[in-house]
A and B are shown apart, each in its own frame.
Chain A
């Protein structure tokens, strides 16, 4: 029998029971739509996270202190073995470095004439912080390297911090007291929002040297150097690229060797960590990928339920149409003709259901994104995945009823009431 005729017959049979066909397809429609929407949501979340991370500057290498091998205590326990001087060493000895930013953080109370805030996150940085971390100054200016070197008592406020401290007043030129140190406000950062779990807008930025000398316990600094939390190394993509045969990994390795030598530790026992943005994105991605496949599986279960619905209806249909099967057999339909007829109906149900589900999934992703404000990204492969599984399910769950129909004895089938 020709496929086109098969499809025509199957289509005709489905049209004779429009409501039933639609209800049967509903399971597949919901399943396919669910797979597409779930994947769109998780892909949207993933893309948002990725954007957030890259929005903090690109081509970055993060050198952080690690405490795994050294148990330091006291206020400086934020830092492992990383010291301020390491940054200068990296700048001097590693090629391909465009900029370096050093940061050390602490938490202090901040007072103005009007307000007192406790536990404000204080971030001491060097001058290139805004450019390396892709942040902009909204009002006034950031501090320069000279001011860092001279321990100038100035501060730049995060966007929401400025509002909390000064309200509608112009903060520039005002004085804030951080712990016991009075700082003059020279700038306010642009709004950045929450990245990960860090609120960039609630922080106070000040020269690194202020934090190191005024707010940290630096009794041993003379012997051991000023401990810092993190060194950002921005790599110059002009020098470090595939054409020059130099990769980010080379730079990372050089930094590791240099620091290991300076700290007199082996690479295995390093008191620091060197990671890249890619590592962070990768870690985030593996989390969201797990989340995504979980969602897809949950949605997939509804596809299987839809498939069982198809099988159920096809079994009912075979019983109901036993006489029709007998008639067809008596005029010359072979078992495989009958099998194909019912298989075609099951396939058509799931394919049409799949198509409607695709439309519903795409529309649903968009509507969900609009309504919830969450970002949704429709992944083309998810459409094929959902549609492909719908077809497979149709064939799988359609086979048993079709086979049952094909095995009917013509005499029994004709006699069936």
Chain B
């Protein structure tokens, strides 16, 4: 089986500060993720997992090393180019949902389409597309609700719909269940796993081993380095 590589990083470093007082948040991380994979990144705070997440999500740039996303070297893109990559190829699910307040679920989901430069859709088409995605995450009847009218689980579903609406090659999830009770958390994890089973490539940061257990593979970071890599049994061949 020959799946394409979505993420390929070589010796990624991120160094904060200058000279004597510089701190390496990432000290040479090489990670590969293939299409359809579900990867968890774990590690104690300060291990560099957020930094790695930000770089993989094109929210920041590595100090050195190479990052190839979906065949494109994105290590040295400028702000505008990164914004376009985020819009075209990435979707984000945050711990705190990060929905626009006082804005309906439908409009929150439409937001990435609004900034799409390559594929202008009319407002009606955007609404249509956003509605379909909301429906697929089980919120077809809540599209005109604003975030404050929705439960945490529902808000996270809106956020997942927003992450999916522009058909990304990679979804980044940062502690997606961190703000949820265990029941809603389990529901959200089930939704995310379903997405993965339908072919979406997902990278998730978590500190909860029970959450990481949903994934195929877990990378443990410590002090900016990959400490160990655990294959969760299924799809071992992905790492050949």
Contacts and interface: CB of A to CB of B under 8 A. Distances in A.
B54 A334 contact: no
B80 A330 contact: no
A334 B79 CA distance: 7
Nearest to A332: B87
Contact of B98 (A2, A326, A334): A326
B232 to A, nearest CB: 29
B98 A330 contact: yes
The CB with the most chain A CB atoms within 10 A, among B59, B111, B166, is that of B59
Nearest to A410: B59
B162 A331 contact: yes
B224 interface: no
B91 to A, nearest CB: 8
A336 B78 CA distance: 13
Contacts of A332: 83-84, 86-88, 112, 115-116, 166
A68 B146 CA distance: 85
B102 A336 contact: no
Interface string B181-223: 0000000000000000000000000000000000000000000
Interface string B47-60: 00000001001011
B98 A414 contact: yes
B38 interface: no
- Give the interface size class of chain A: 20 to 34
Nearest to B115: A332
A336 to B, nearest CB: 7
Interface string A228-244: 00000000000000000
Interface in A358-417: 409-411, 414
A5 interface: yes
Contact of A330 (B86, B88, B102): B86
B80 A331 contact: no
Nearest to A333: B115
Contacts of A16: 102
A328 B115 contact: yes
The CB with the most chain B CB atoms within 10 A, among A326, A331, A333, A336, is that of A331
Interface of B: 54, 57, 59-60, 79-80, 83-84, 86-88, 92, 94, 98-102, 111-112, 114-116, 120, 162, 166
22 contacts: A1-B115, A2-B120, A5-B114, A16-B102, A323-B98, A324-B101, A327-B100, A329-B86, A330-B59, A330-B92, A330-B98, A331-B86, A331-B92, A331-B166, A332-B86, A332-B115, A333-B83, A333-B115, A334-B84, A336-B80, A410-B59, A411-B60
